[in-house]
Homo-oligomer: A and B are copies of this chain.
Amino acid sequence: MTAGGLPMAVPVEGLPARVRIHEVGARDGLQNEKATVPTEVKAEFIRRLAAAGLTTIEATSFVHPRWVPQLADAEDLFPMVGDLPVDLPVLVPNERGLDRALALGARRVAVFASATESFAKANLNRTVDEALAMFEPVVSRAKAEGGHVRGYLSMCFGDPWEGPVPVPQVVRVCRALRDMGCDELSLGDTIGVATPGHVRALLTALDAEGIPVEALGVHFHDTYGQALANTLAALQHGVTTVDASAGGLGGCPYAKSATGNLATEDLVWMLRGLGIDTGVDLGLLTATSVWMAEQLGRPSPSRTVRALSHKEQ
């Protein structure tokens, strides 16, 4: 299962030489699965992702099992993959989650904020500012332990209840997350409605706010097929961290569509064509997604996975 000599690599001046992919399939991808995925399968998935060359693999979430039962095995899973030579960030929703993560030796953690009041209420049962107040001690304690903190920010472009989200509203929450100590922000288009001009407008506003582009990642959903075009716009602005999910696993339960996260394979195809180094072996990654799709009993929504795996038949 290889892509042969295709795509041809034709670099474009002004784009980054290297992109770091923040792989979210094992956490964001699996958290909404209806079926329970055995812990050993999750561990094997993470091992295969690492073997395919991914270097940042979000492993799980230390959320209360009542809210995300699919990831209730975090304590069992994390030690099974902890010795892999890759970064394994974990989501921590609050101080209790941080305690659990720190106890296992995790030092790369992520919090999950919202740019809109409606989603903060739906997802966290708090206002935006109440959620930020909850994250404050999480971030400061993680930093005090020598950790690295990523701040996810969801609904950065549109919200299913509120419609288009004003750029200044997003910038304000980014500022707050940076001020409390987040090393990195992940700008989420949770319902997939962003287009390239909107992406550019937000990144330009964050420049003006003095938030360095090196501290930004982008997290696009492919609900309307826009994720790669938006990624291109972000690369043209200097972004070098891109979130993606192997095989296109997962998505947002509030975005009523069959498709969710940008598929890592579709991203790697474009980056390979642009001559941008990711360190990822596309054949091994595609094989991993085909294997995971078999575990889940349904095909990958990734166009690249479908095209490359079809060639083998």
Partner-B contacts on A (CB < 8 A): 4-12, 157-158, 163-164, 192-198, 200-201, 222-226, 228-229, 231-233, 255-259, 263, 266, 269-270, 272-275, 302-304, 306-307, 310-311
Residues in B with CB closer than 8 Å to A7 are 157-158, 164, 193-195, 198, 224, 226
CA distance A158 to B8 in the complex (A): 8
CA distance A258 to B310 in the complex (A): 9
A6 with B193: CB separation less than 8 A: yes
Option from B4, B198, B231 in Cβ contact (under 8 Å) with A229: B231
B164 with A274: CB separation less than 8 A: no
A306 with B257: CB separation less than 8 A: yes
CA distance A311 to B191 in the complex (A): 12
Name the residue of chain B whose CB is nearest to the CB of A304: B224
Q: A256-B307, A258-B306 are in contact. Are A195 and B274 (CB under 8 A)?
A: yes
Given contacts A7-B195, A196-B274, A225-B303, 6 further A-B contacts (CB under 8 A): A5-B164, A7-B158, A8-B198, A9-B197, A10-B198, A257-B303
The residue in A11, A304, A307, A310 that gathers the most chain B C-beta atoms within 10 A of its C-beta is A307
CA distance A200 to B255 in the complex (A): 34
Q: Top 3 closest A-B pairs, CB basis?
A: A195-B273, A8-B164, A10-B197
Question: Can you list 23 A-B pairs, Cβ within 8 angstroms, ordered by A?
Answer: A5-B163, A5-B164, A7-B157, A7-B164, A7-B194, A8-B158, A10-B200, A195-B274, A196-B273, A197-B273, A197-B275, A222-B225, A223-B307, A224-B307, A225-B304, A226-B228, A228-B229, A229-B231, A229-B270, A232-B233, A257-B307, A258-B306, A259-B306
B6 with A201: CB separation less than 8 A: no
B197 with A302: CB separation less than 8 A: no
Option from B225, B229, B258 in Cβ contact (under 8 Å) with A263: B225
Residues in B with CB closer than 8 Å to A8 are 157-158, 163-164, 193, 195, 198
Residues in B with CB closer than 8 Å to A10 are 195, 197-198, 200-201
A226 with B273: CB separation less than 8 A: yes
Give the Cβ gap from A280 to chain B, nearest Cβ, in Å. Answer: 15
CA distance A31 to B259 in the complex (A): 28
Residues in B with CB closer than 8 Å to A232 are 196, 229, 232-233
Give the Cβ gap from A225 to chain B, nearest Cβ, in Å. Answer: 4
B163 with A6: CB separation less than 8 A: yes
Option from B6, B226, B266, B270 in Cβ contact (under 8 Å) with A270: B226
Residues in B with CB closer than 8 Å to A310 are 256-258
B303 with A273: CB separation less than 8 A: no
CA distance A201 to B198 in the complex (A): 26
Q: A6-B164, A228-B228 are in contact. Are A303 and B223 (CB under 8 A)?
A: yes
CA distance A266 to B229 in the complex (A): 11
Give the Cβ gap from A305 to chain B, nearest Cβ, in Å. Answer: 10
B197 with A259: CB separation less than 8 A: no
Name the residue of chain B whose CB is nearest to the CB of A276: B197
